[in-house]
Structure 1
C-alpha cells in the first residue's frame, strides 16, 4: 500500500512539474478545429451559463477519491434526476487539479481543466500559495468530437481523447 501511494505521489508530482514547465514557455492559445465552430459554441456557452446559474440542485452525489496524495472528490450534480455537471478535485503535496464536465442533451459538451503547481510542496516552509503556477484548458465537444480548444498545448488532440476517456471513467 505504501509503495502504491509513493508511486501515485511521484506521478502526480511529475505531472504538476510538467504543467509548471508548460506554463513558463508561453501563454494560452486558441485552436480553431471546426470551420463553423462559432455557431456551435453558442449553445455550449448558453448551457454553461444555465448550469452555473442553478442555485439549488435536486441532488448532489459526492464520492471521495484516494487516487491523489492528499485526497479528492467527485461531485455529480443532478437537476430533476438529470445529470448536468461533474466536478473533480484532486489534491497533492505539490499541487492540485480541477476538472468540470458539462453535459448538454446528455452528452459531454464542455470541459474546464485547471492544474495548479505549488512553488514548494504543501508542507515545506517556503510554500506560498500566491506563487503557484496555474494552467487552464478548455475543451468544446460536439458528438464526442473536439470542435474548439483553448489552452497551451501542442498535443491537444491526444489530451482531448484522454479527457473523453476520463469522462467515461467517472461517468
Structure 2
C-alpha cells in the first residue's frame, strides 16, 4: 500500500518540477529574448540649465534620485549644460561625456553636482545566475507537488488491500 503513496508523490514531484522548470526557464527566455544577457550602457543626460536649477534648490525631473544596474553595466554621463559637472570620480566638462563602469555588486551613494542634495544612489546588483534560476524552479515545483499530491488523494483515494477485498465481495 505504501508504494502507491510513493508512486503518487514521485509522480507529483516529476510533474510539478517539470512545470516549474518550464515556467521559470520560459520567463528567463522571454526576458532575455533567447539570448544570454549582455552588459548594457545607460546614458544619463544632464540637460542645459541644470546648474541654475541646482542653485535654486530645484531638482531636474529627468535625473533620478537612485539608479539600479547589474554587474558589468556602464553609465555614460552626457553633459549638455554650460557648466562642468561631477559624478564621484568622473569629471564631465560642459558639452562632453564621461563613463562609469559598474563592475561588482554593491549599493552606494556617490557625490554628484547635478542633484540638489549633491548625491546619487547607485545599486549594482548581481546578474541572474544558475542559483537564482534553480530557486525559481524550487519555488514553483515544491509547493505545486504537495498540492498535486493532495489533490490526487482527494480525487482518487488509495485503497488498501482490505478495502479492495470488500469491494469484490459486493
TM-score range, shorter chain: under 0.3
TM-score using structure 2 length = 0.23
- Greater helix share, structure number: 2
Q: Which has the higher strand share?
A: 1
Larger Rg, first or second structure (1 or 2): 2
